[in-house]
């Protein structure tokens, strides 16, 4: 037990060292334009997950790993009583300032999620954790701890790196690390090879390019978990599924609503369908350019996914072998590069 704790602490200290240098969550939130852009971003993801703003009114909300507070400030504006827990005291100071400047109240807890007591987490009606567990020593244990701790009826929302969705970014990380000796080289090489991606991610994610470089490439810990593992944990811990983005819903389900449905968190029951979804996530990145996705012809789409998947496997092999001469990086340079974060919303039964 002692050994595991020291490993957890070691990973956290290494991650926090990077985060204290450059904040991973900081977004400018001063002008009306900043507020409008950030509000739009928050509302878009919540609506994609079927959560209207009024869900937050009068609720006790906990954001685990809430960092500098740019997400949760909107929950406060919509009438929630917000608490942010984060081990980075510098981020929390910035969150305190942000809330104060906007005449809003927030409770700030300077703690690692593994140190939060179950009795504390049980106080909350809504628990949110975005972009956090993949940066812990044991992402599955972090997710499991939260799933075990929330009270019955709690709405739980998680955003995390899923192995297939994050595959292209994992290849980017592997490539950058294989050619860089230190952080300065990581920064130079990130701009050199992934300029378009940084530009795009900054435009849509509202974070600076350097913040993305620190969070994605310099960060010592980005550990994705599989969809199977995620589903199994929700299933085992007695949650009912509300939504996900990208969706894992069964689009072919037409039986009457009153007829019993197979739980979406029952991975094995949906295995064949989920294998297809996983491939789609792995390969995705520039489908808007691909006419094939509008053809509606599933055999063609499947053949296309297989073809790109094979190219990715080859790229992975070449990065592993440091066979840099034969590397075709275009698959991990352009477009939206898979799924940066997969969202799941569920309610504890």
Ligand X SMILES: C[S@@+](CC[C@H](N)C(=O)[O-])C[C@H]1O[C@@H](n2cnc3c(N)ncnc32)[C@H](O)[C@@H]1O
Contacting positions for ligand X (CB under 6 A): 12, 15, 19, 24-25, 64-67, 71, 86-88, 91, 112-113, 130-132, 135-136, 215
DSSP per-residue string spanning 132-168: -GGGSS-HHHHHHHHHHHSPTT-EEEEEE-BTTTTHH
Considering the complex, what minimum distance in angstroms separates the CB of residue 200 from ligand X?
Answer: 18
C-beta atoms surrounding 79 within 10 Å: 12
Considering the complex, what minimum distance in angstroms separates the CB of residue 227 from ligand X?
Answer: 20
**C-beta of 135 vs 223, nearer to ligand X:** 135
Do the bridges between strand 155-160 and strand 342-348 make them parallel or antiparallel, or are there none, so unpaired? Answer: antiparallel
**C-beta of 209 vs 215, nearer to ligand X:** 215
**C-beta of 22 vs 179, nearer to ligand X:** 22
**C-beta of 67 vs 165, nearer to ligand X:** 67
Considering the complex, what minimum distance in angstroms separates the CB of residue 106 from ligand X?
Answer: 14
**Distance between CA 251 and CA 96 in Å, rounded?**
43
Considering the complex, what minimum distance in angstroms separates the CB of residue 137 from ligand X?
Answer: 8
Give the SS3 label for residue 61: strand
Closest among 166, 299, 276 to 223, alpha carbons compared = 166
**C-beta of 71 vs 283, nearer to ligand X:** 71
Note the residue count of the chain.
Answer: 349
Any idea what DSSP says for residue 77? Answer: H
Closest among 128, 21, 11 to 73, alpha carbons compared = 128
Considering the complex, what minimum distance in angstroms separates the CB of residue 135 from ligand X?
Answer: 5
**Distance between CA 206 and CA 183 in Å, rounded?**
23
Considering the complex, what minimum distance in angstroms separates the CB of residue 128 from ligand X?
Answer: 8
Residue nearest to ligand X (CB): 67
**C-beta of 65 vs 335, nearer to ligand X:** 65
**Distance between CA 13 and CA 112 in Å, rounded?**
11
């Amino acid at each position: 037990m002692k050994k595991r704790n020291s490993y957890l602490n070691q990973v956290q200290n290494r991650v926090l060292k990077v985060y204290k240098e450059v904040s991973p969550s900081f977004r400018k939130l001063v002008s009306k334009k900043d507020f409008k852009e950030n509000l739009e971003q928050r509302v878009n993801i919540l609506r994609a997950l079927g959560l209207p703003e009024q869900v937050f009114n009068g609720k006790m909300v906990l954001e685990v790993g809430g960092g500098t507070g740019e997400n949760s400030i909107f929950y406060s504006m919509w009438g929630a009583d917000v608490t942010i827990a984060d081990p980075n005291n510098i981020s929390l100071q910035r969150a305190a300032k942000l809330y104060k400047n906007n005449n809003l109240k927030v409770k700030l807890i300077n703690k690692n999620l593994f140190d939060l007591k179950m009795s504390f987490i049980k106080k909350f009606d809504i628990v949110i954790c975005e972009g956090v567990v993949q940066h812990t020593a044991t992402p599955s244990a972090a997710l499991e701890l939260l799933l075990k701790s929330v009270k019955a009826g709690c709405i739980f929302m998680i955003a995390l790196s899923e192995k297939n969705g994050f595959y292209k970014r994992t290849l980017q990380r592997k490539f950058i690390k294989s050619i860089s000796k230190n952080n300065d080289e990581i920064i130079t090489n990130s701009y050199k090879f992934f300029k378009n991606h940084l530009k795009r991610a900054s435009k849509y994610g509202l974070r600076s390019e350097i913040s993305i470089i620190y969070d994605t490439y310099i960060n010592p810990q980005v550990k994705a978990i599989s969809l199977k593992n995620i589903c199994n944990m929700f299933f085992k811990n007695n949650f009912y599924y509300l939504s996900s983005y990208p969706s894992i819903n069964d689009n072919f389900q037409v039986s009457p609503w009153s007829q019993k449905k197979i739980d979406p968190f029952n991975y094995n029951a949906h295995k064949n369908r989920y294998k297809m979804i996983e491939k789609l996530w792995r390969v995705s990145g520039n489908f808007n350019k691909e006419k094939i996705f509008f053809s509606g012809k599933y055999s063609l789409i499947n053949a296309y996914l297989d073809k790109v998947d094979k190219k990715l496997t080859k790229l992975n092999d070449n990065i592993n072998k440091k066979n840099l001469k034969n590397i075709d990086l275009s698959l991990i340079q352009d477009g939206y590069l898979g799924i940066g974060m997969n969202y799941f919303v569920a309610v504890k039964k």
